[in-house]
Amino acid sequence: MKHLAFPAFKAAENGAWSGFIAAWTVSSILLVVEFAFGVQSGMFYSVIGITLGVTGSPVDSALVGILLHILAGTLIGAVGGFTIAVCPVLAIHRLTKSLAVGVSIGIVAWAVLFLPLTVLAVIPRLDRILVPLAENSELYTIASQATGMLVIVIAGSLLFHALYGLVYGTMMTRLIRYKNRELKNERSYV
C-alpha cells in the first residue's frame, strides 16, 4: 500500500494510541511473568511508586507505578508517531518495517529513559528507602526483592521494551492503513 502523508499531529495521535495499547500489553504480560516466577505481584510497579515516595501500601505504590508506566508508554508512542511522520526514512509502508521501527523506538526508550532512571534514580532511592522501612513491612520486602534482582530486571526490561516495540509497530501499521483509507476518502470528496 502506498504511504500517504498525513499531518504530524495525527501521526502523534496514532502513536499515542499505539503506545497506550503497547504499554497495557506489556504491563499485563509483566504481571503474568511476576506471578509465574513467584515474585510479589506488581513488584515492578510498586518499586516505581516507592521510588516516588508512595509508601502507604504496596497497592498504592503499585497503582501509581502502573499509571506512570502507561503514561510514559503513551508519551513515547506519541513522540514515536510524530518522528515517523516528520522523518521520511521512518515512513511505514509495510508491517516488517513497522515492526523494525517499533522495536527501535522501544530500544531507544530503554536506553534513553529506563536505564538512566533505573541506575541514577531508582537504585539509589531503593537503598535509601530500605533503611527506614521496618524489616517486616511489605514495602521493605518488595524493595529488598527488587534490589536483589536488579540485573535480571535490567536485562528483562530490554526484552519488554522490544515487545513494546513489536506491539507498537503492529498497532501503527493498523492505524496508518486505517487513517490512509480515511484520508483517501476525504481527498476524493474534494
Helix (H) or strand (E) holding 78: helix 58-86
Residue 107, pLDDT score: 96
Q: Could you list the mean pLDDT of each consecutive 10-residue stretch along the chain, which spans 190 residues?
A: 63 94 94 82 79 77 90 96 90 87 95 89 70 57 63 85 96 75 52
Residue 160, pLDDT score: 94
Give the separation between CA 60 and CA 51, rounded to whole angstroms.
12
Residue 165, pLDDT score: 96
* Burial (0-12, 13-18, 19+ Cβ within 10 Å), 136: exposed
Residue 181, pLDDT score: 55
Q: Which of 116, 109, 43 is nearest to 75 (CA)?
A: 109
Residue 58, pLDDT score: 74
Residue 1, pLDDT score: 40
pTM above 0.85, yes or no: no
Residue 4, pLDDT score: 45
Give the separation between CA 54 and CA 147, rounded to whole angstroms.
17
